[in-house]
Amino acid sequence: MNMKNVSIIYHKDLREIMTLRTVKYSMIIFPVLFLSILLFILYFSYLNLGSSSNIPDYFNNTLKAVPYSSNGKIFYYLSMNYLIFLSIVPLSLASTISSYSVVGEKQQKTIEPILATPIDDREFFLGKLLAPLFPTLGITYVVIAIYSIFSDLISIHFNYIIYPNISWAIVVFLFIPFSTILMVLLTLLFSSKAVDPRSSQQFSAIILIPILVVFFLSMLIYSIESILLLLLTAIVIIGDFLLFRITVKIFDRETIVTRWK
């Protein structure tokens, strides 16, 4: 595989995405808004933490292993859960950006001239996959960094620092990247059938909602259990693998040229 060709497609897509005002603004406004709300909720939760006697048994049992005071344990739990919520940022951004990437080619009829050049299907597909992935992860890591520092600043009041920890590392470096890849693949898959970016996003959103519900419920319950987090991440990775195979088939050049309308 010629990585130079992958890079040419990647940079072209990235540059094209940046010429779209709606995408550019949503890449700034949505993460800022979402982060602000989460930080506010986290701070508000900290201000309203009750006495240790109010802690439900569930927390005490689940947080047995966490070596902090009762309120510290609750704050730890809340902060970790909100961190999981932050994965909505990359999923949403990935869906927005990647839906433009394929539909844009279709609308402008640029696919055939690209396929006439000495690029192969895998290089084209990989460029399309990476273009939404890297900026999405870049923005997400900035958001996570701010969130983590803010959480740590609060947790100092409980005489500890929450982040980094193993669960955090699993979420940040495994769960978020792989679930973002899953989202990009889903959107690319639906983009190949869609005629405009909006319908592509809607298609992927319809599929995404049940997946998100299942994942977030699981994660909220088990977010501090590293092994369970790893297990869930493994399921996402398997999903990535299966979806990758399906999407590569859709990106076969004969299908692209003759069936993408």
Partner 1 sequence: MNKMIEVINVEKKFGEITVLKNINFNINKGEIFGYLGPNGAGKTTTIRILTGIIEPTSGEIFIDRIDLKHNKKLIRSKSGLLTENPGFYERFNAIENIKFFSKLYGLNDNDIKSKIEYYFKLFNLWDHRSIPVGAFSKGMKQKLSLIRAIIHDPEYIYLDEPTASLDPETSNIVKTFIKDLKKQGKTIFLSTHNLFEAEEVCDRVAILNREIIEIGRPDELKSKIFGNRIVVEFENEPEKVKNILSTMGINFKIEGNKIIMDYEKSISSLIKNLINSGIDVSYVYRENHSLEEIYLEMVK
Where on the chain is the footprint of partner 1 (CB under 8 A)? 5, 8, 12, 15-16, 19-20, 104, 108-120, 253-254, 257-258
> Which of residues 198 and 259 has its CB atom nearest to partner 1 in the complex?
259
> Which of residues 100 and 175 has its CB atom nearest to partner 1 in the complex?
100
Minimum Å gap between C-beta 54 and partner 1 is 57
Minimum Å gap between C-beta 32 and partner 1 is 25
Q: Taking a C-beta distance cutoff of 8 angstroms, is the pair 170, 226 a contact? A: yes
> Which of residues 51 and 117 has its CB atom nearest to partner 1 in the complex?
117
Minimum Å gap between C-beta 4 and partner 1 is 8
> Which of residues 19 and 53 has its CB atom nearest to partner 1 in the complex?
19
Minimum Å gap between C-beta 126 and partner 1 is 14
> Which of residues 193 and 253 has its CB atom nearest to partner 1 in the complex?
253
